[in-house]
Chains A and B, each alone.
Chain A
Amino acid sequence: MSAFLEVRNVTKVFGHGDNATVALSDFSYEINEASPSITAVAGESGSGKSTLARLLLGFIDPTQGEVLYRGKNLKSLSNQERQQFRREVQAIFQDPFGVYNPFYKVDHLLKTPLKSFKLASSRTDARQQIEAALDTVGLNPGEILGRYPHQLSGGQRQRITIARALLLRPRLIIADEPVSMVDASLRATILESLLKLNREFGISFLYITHDLTTAYQIAERLIVLYQGTVSEAGGVRPVIRDPQHPYTRLLISSIPTPDPNQHWTDEAVVVPGDQVEAVITDGCPFAPRCPHVMPECLTEMPPLFRSKEAAVACYLYRDAPQVPDRNLTAVLGAIGTKGASPAKSSVSVGSMTR
C-alpha cells in the first residue's frame, strides 16, 4: 500500500545560475495514515523547513524528485483527487492575525470550508459541526461566533484556525510555527489542542518549528534540518537528550534553559554562523562552523549514518551502517505514538551536551 503522503528524493532550488539557492536537498520521508504520528521538523531560518511545508501542500513544485499523494504525483492529480487532497491535507500557519479577513465575522472562516467541500447537509448541521469543532479546541462557541477577528485574542484566533482545519476531517495537518506568535500563557492550550486532534481523531501532524522545546512537548519524531539538508533525525527524546551531530549539539546547548543554575556552556567554540563566508557547495553545509571538521567534510556531502537509533549526516559516524537512499522513513517509521514510548527519565539539558 502506498503511503498517504510521500516525499521522494526531493530537491528544491530557488533562483538559477549564480543566484541559485538550494532550499532543500534530496529529502525523502513518508507519512502513513495507519500510524498517526507527530513529526517535528526543526531548524533555523533558512534551513528549508518552510520550503518542505510548501512542497507538501503543493504550493510549490520540487526541482527534482516528487511528492506523492496516495501514490500519485501531486502534479498529476485529477480534479476530484486534488479536491480530496485539499480536504485531507490541512495547514495551520504562524500568524493568527494574517489569515483572517477583517471585514468578515469569524463564522465566515468556519462556514466557507464546509460549503466548498459540501460537508454539511443543512444550516443546522453546519452550525452543529462548527460548534463541535470549536468545543474540541477548547473554545466556547457562544463567545466566538458572531465576533470579528479584532475582537479575539491571538490564542483564540489560532485555535479557530485549528477548528477550521478540523472541520474538514483531514488526515494530515501541516502546522508551520503555530505557536511562535502566541504568548507563553496560551501556548500550552494550543499545543494541547494539536495533541488532542492527533490522539482522538488520528490526524498526523508535521510540526514545523524553530523551537525544540515545544517539539519535545508534542512530537514523537524529530527531523533537524540545516541549510536544506537533514543533519539528524530520530525519536524526539533520544535526539534531544543525546544529540549526535555537532550541529544538533550546538543547537540544543544554545537553548536558554529557564533555570538560573544551569548556564549556557561555553562549549560552542565554533565560528559564529553569521560570519561564515565560504559557502560549501559539495560537502557538509555545517563544515565551516564545525569544531570536528575533516578534509572529506569539505568535498562530499556525508550520507546518513545510523547511530544510536538516529540518522546522522556526519563523518564522525562513518563506521555505522548507512541509511539506504537517505530515506528517513527507515529510521522514523518505527517510532510510534508518544503514549507507547514510556522511556522517561529526568536528564537535564546541561548533561546532554559534551
Chain B
Amino acid sequence: MTRTGTAGNAGETLHVDDLHVQFHTPRGVVRAVDGVSFDLLPGERLGLVGESGSGKSTIALALLRMIKPPGRIVSGKVQLGNDDLSTISDDDMRRMRMARIALVPQGAMNSLNPVTRIKHQLIDTMKAHGAAPDSGPKERLETRVEELLESVGLKQEVAERYPHELSGGMKQRVCIAIAIALRPSVIIADEPTSALDVVVQRQIMQTLGAVQKRIGASVLLIGHDMGLMAQFVDRVGVMYGGKLAEIGETARLFAEPRHPYTQVLISSLPSFDRESQFIKIAGQPHSPLNPPSGCVFHPRCPHAFDICPRVIPELRTVGPQQVVACHLYDEANGGTRTPNERMSAVAPSGR
C-alpha cells in the first residue's frame, strides 16, 4: 500500500480477473457480471460495448468498488499496478478513487453539486482524494483549477459559475477536468456523451482523448454505440448477458467479427454506405433473473447447435489479440471454425 493516493501514476496496468457481481433481489439472484476478465494496458483505450442489462456499467462501478446493495462483488480480482483493489481497506480505496482510477460519469448534469461553484467542486475533489488532504497553499490549488479548465477547453470564468449556468457539454467537460485533476492512471468513462448531441459528443470525445494522451492515462470507455467505439478505442470488448462475448483490436473486430452476436451487432448498424435494410437479431434479450443454460446467447443465435444450450463456452484465442467465447471456435470444431456464411441465418428483410 505504498503508492495509494499518490497522484501521477501513469503507466499502470489494470488487471481484471474473473469478476463476478451479483444483485440479490427478492425475486432471485441477478448475475450482472458473470466472470469477466480483461487487462487494460497503460495508455490504452479499451471499449466495453453492450445493450442495457449486459453488465457494462456494473463493471465500471465494480472497478471503483462502488456497487451498492443489493449488489455485491462476489468474487474476482481487480489489480491496479501492485495494488489489489479487491482487498484494500475502504479508506485506502477512497484515496485510490480519482487519484489513480477516476470516473467520468454518465449524465454530467446530475453528478455535479448544484449549489457549489465549479472551482470548489474541483478543489474538493483534489482535497478529498489527494495524498495529503490539506496540502498546498490556496493559490496553488486555484492555479491548478485554471490549468484544468484550460486543458478541457473551458474559459477561466467557468470556475466561478454554478452547474446550472453551464450547458450539458460544458458540464461534461467539467467532469473530465475533475477526473484528470489528480492525474489518474485509469479513466473510466461510463457513457460520457449519452445525453449529448453528436456535434458536442465529438468535441467531448476529442477533449477526453487529448487530456488522456497528455497525462498518459488509459481509458475504459463504456457505451452502447459501436460508432463511437470505432472512432475512439484501440480495443473493443463486446458484452452480452454479463459476460464478454468477444474482445479484440478495433479494426479487426469490425472487419472480422467472430462471435455471432458481434456479427449481427455490426451488420445491424445503420450506415449511409449500405442500402438500408433491417437486419434484426432474432428474439428478445433474456430475463436477467432466468438466463438461458449454456451459452447465454444460444436462444437468439443463428448458428446455435447441440452443445450450445448445455455448455458455457470458454474464451479462446482465435487470432492475434482476438478472443471469443463461442463453441463455433472450439478445438473439437477445428479451432478456427468460421460460420460458413457470415449472415446466412439472419434473413435481412428487404424494404
Interfacial residues, chain A to chain B (CB-CB below 8 A): 44-45, 153-156, 183-189, 191-192, 195, 210, 213-214, 216-218, 240-241, 250-251, 254-264, 268, 272-275, 338-339, 344, 346-349, 352
Say whether A260 contacts B276, CB under 8 Å. Answer: no
Which residue from chain A places its CB closest to the CB of B169 in the assembled complex?
A274
Which residues of the other chain, A, contact B278 by a CB distance below 8 angstroms?
A: 188-189, 191-192, 217
> Can you sample 15 A-B contacts with CB below 8 Å?
A153-B285, A183-B51, A187-B270, A195-B351, A213-B272, A216-B272, A255-B227, A256-B231, A257-B230, A258-B227, A260-B250, A268-B202, A273-B169, A273-B197, A347-B272
On whether A254 and B270 interact (CB within 8 A), knowing A184-B224, A188-B279, A191-B278, the answer reads no
B residues less than 8 Å from A261 (CB atoms): 251
Which residues of B sit under 8 angstroms from A339, Cβ to Cβ? 351
For the complex, give the distance between the alpha carbons of A263 and B169 in Å: 21
Residues of B within 8 A of A256 (CB): 198, 201-202, 225, 227-228, 230-232
A341 to chain B, nearest CB (A): 12
Q: What is the bound-complex CA distance between A307 and B127, given in angstroms?
A: 57
Which of B199, B271, B280 touches A188 (beta carbons < 8 Å)?
B280
Shortest B351–chain A CB gap in Å is: 6
Shortest beta-carbon distance from B128 to chain A in Å? 27
How long is the Cα–Cα vector from A210 to B195 in the complex, in angstroms? 11
> Which residues of the partner chain A approach B140 to less than 8 Å between Cβ atoms?
none
Q: Which of A251, A259, A338, A339 has the most CB of B within 10 A?
A: A259
Q: A183-B285, A251-B198, A348-B272 are in contact. Are A274 and B280 (CB under 8 A)?
A: no
The minimal Cβ–Cβ distance linking A170 to chain B, given in whole angstroms, is 22
Check B206–A260 contact: CB distance below 8 A: no
- What is the CB-to-nearest-CB distance from B273 to chain A, in angstroms, rounded to a whole number? 5
Report the interface size for chain B: residues with CB under 8 A from the other chain.
51
Q: Is the CB of B200 within 8 A of A184?
A: no
Contact check, A213 vs B271: say whether CB atoms are below 8 A apart.
yes
Q: Which of A45, A184, A344 has the most CB of B within 10 A?
A: A184
> Which A residues are in CB contact (< 8 Å) with B206?
264
B111: Cβ under 8 A from any A Cβ: no
**A189 and B272: CB pair below 8 A?**
no
Q: Is B274 an interface residue (CB 8 A)?
A: yes
On whether the beta carbons of B281 and A185 are closer than 8 Å, the reply is yes
**A156→B197 contact, CB < 8 A:** no
Partner of B231 from A213, A251, A257 at Cβ < 8 Å:
A257
- Please indicate which of the listed interface residues A257, A272, A274 has the most CB atoms of chain B within 10 Å of its own CB: A274
Q: Are A260 and B230 in contact (CB under 8 A)?
A: yes
Query: Do A274 and B273 have beta carbons less than 8 Å apart?
Result: no
Asked if A155 and B351 sit within 8 Å, CB to CB, the answer is: no
Residues of chain A with a CB closer than 8 A to B197's CB: 44-45, 210, 273
Contact string against A for B residues 257-281, beta-carbon threshold 8 Å, 1 for contact and 0 otherwise: 0000000111011111111101111
Task: Answer yes or no: B35 CB below 8 A from chain A CBs.
Answer: no
A188 touches B227 (CB 8 A): no
B200 touches A274 (CB 8 A): yes
Q: Which residues of chain B come closer than 8 Å to A338, judged between CB atoms?
A: 351
